[in-house]
Amino acid sequence: MNNFTYGVLIPNWNGEAYIERALGSVLAAARRTGRVMEVVVVDDASTDRSPELIEKSFPGVRLIRLAQNVGFGRAVGIGMAALAAEWVFLLNNDLALQSDFCERLIATLGQHDPEGLFAIGAQTRDWASQAPNHSGQRAAWREGLIVQEPFDSPETRPTDFFQAGACLVNRARFLKLGGFASIYHPGYWEDYDLAWQARRRGWVNLYEPLAVAYHWGQGSMRRRYGEWGVSLLVRRNHLLFVWANLSDPWLLARHFLALPGQVLRQTTREGEAGWGRALLAALGRLPAALRLRRKRLAERDGLPAAELLHLK
């Protein structure tokens, strides 16, 4: 049994439809561990009744109410700074945890060297169908892009990416990396970027398939931006991730050589933003991406991208 301290952090924006179910499952899973955990919810200036529901139904939860909407990344950073725990369960507001979720992740932490560990990601399943929707993910190279290549496993395995809405993360290392990069605001790919930075430092991310949570899936974001808007954010931020993190000139050249063909030939499902529109949106943030890239290139201790990718 390890002696680390643990806390729970949930960023919330307009989660009235599911926050009570989520917090109920979280508190039950935390109690089952037998450990005292501070549970913090950072409310990102919600306009619905979710903050009032939290205050009324969960008086033991520490609610931090932001006066202005700052987005997922900054809300998480505020919560991490407010907590004192060594390891933090970082959870979305639209999750329902299995009762042994926290126990599973704590047990996995106890079976590995904590000094080299950054985060342990869990398995998430669709809220309605219970079909798996997020497992382990390898970083692969496809058509000039760094992509996520999902894998599943019956046992704990190293993973390149993890889902920030269902994980256990080392708080000190999270803060040392600076948290989520602001170029991804208001969301998507910021957790994959952070996982990538951890691996550049030589830290390990794990996937624990026995820790399971049920996920509504893009609940707040879908209501705010719609299906088209969410798909635009995902693809725009995918490009920003590549531009900020491809440290190898030959890979960057392959990316830009492949990009025009991808924009021209990419077909999309109805209601989904195409790569051409995503490229235009990403170019608006190119200066910020280049500044972040230069900063990371100046950190000479990081591994090059080619060593982190599963190249074919």
Domain count, the chain: 2
With beta carbons less than 8 A apart as the criterion, state whether 184 and 232 touch: no
Q: Which residue has the higher pLDDT, 187 or 269?
A: 187
CA distance 32 to 29: 5
Q: Do 112 and 242 lie in a common domain? A: no
**Which of 222, 238, 272 is the endpoint of a domain?**
222
Domain range spanning residue 269? 227-308
Q: At 95, phi and psi to the nearest 5?
A: -105, 150
Residue 270 included in any domain: yes
Residue 209 included in any domain: yes
Q: Are strands 157-158 and 145-151 parallel, antiparallel or unpaired?
A: unpaired
Place 306 in a pLDDT band, splitting at 50, 70 and 90.
Answer: confident
Which residues are CB-neighbours of 233 under 8 A, at least 6 positions away? Answer: 186, 187, 188, 221, 225
Q: DSSP of 160-181, one letter per residue? A: SB--TTEEEEEHHHHHHTTSS-
| SS3 letters across 266-290 | CCCCCCCCCHHHHHHHHHCCHHHHH
CA distance 91 to 77: 13
Q: Do 211 and 131 lie in a common domain? A: yes
With beta carbons less than 8 A apart as the criterion, state whether 126 and 215 touch: yes
**Which of 165, 187, 222 is the endpoint of a domain?**
222
With beta carbons less than 8 A apart as the criterion, state whether 5 and 87 touch: yes
Q: Which residue has the higher pLDDT, 310 or 60?
A: 60
Burial class (CB in 10 A: 0-12, 13-18, 19+), 224: middle
Per DSSP, the three-state class of 25 is: helix
Residue 1 included in any domain: no
Q: Do 24 and 107 lie in a common domain? A: yes
**In this structure, what DSSP letter does residue 127 have?**
T
Tens-place pLDDT, residues 127-156: 888 888 889 999 999 999 999 999 989 999
**Which of 203, 222, 241 is the endpoint of a domain?**
222
Query: In this structure, what token pair is assigned to residue 123?
Result: 């398995």
Residue 251 included in any domain: yes
Residue 166 included in any domain: yes
Tens-place pLDDT, residues 49-98: 999 999 999 999 999 999 999 999 999 999 999 999 999 999 999 999 99
> Percent of the chain beyond pLDDT 70?
96
What pLDDT is stored for residue 305 in this prediction?
A: 81
Place 1 in a pLDDT band, splitting at 50, 70 and 90.
Answer: low
Of 24-33, 84-93, 102-111, 209-218, the range with the lowest mean pLDDT is 209-218
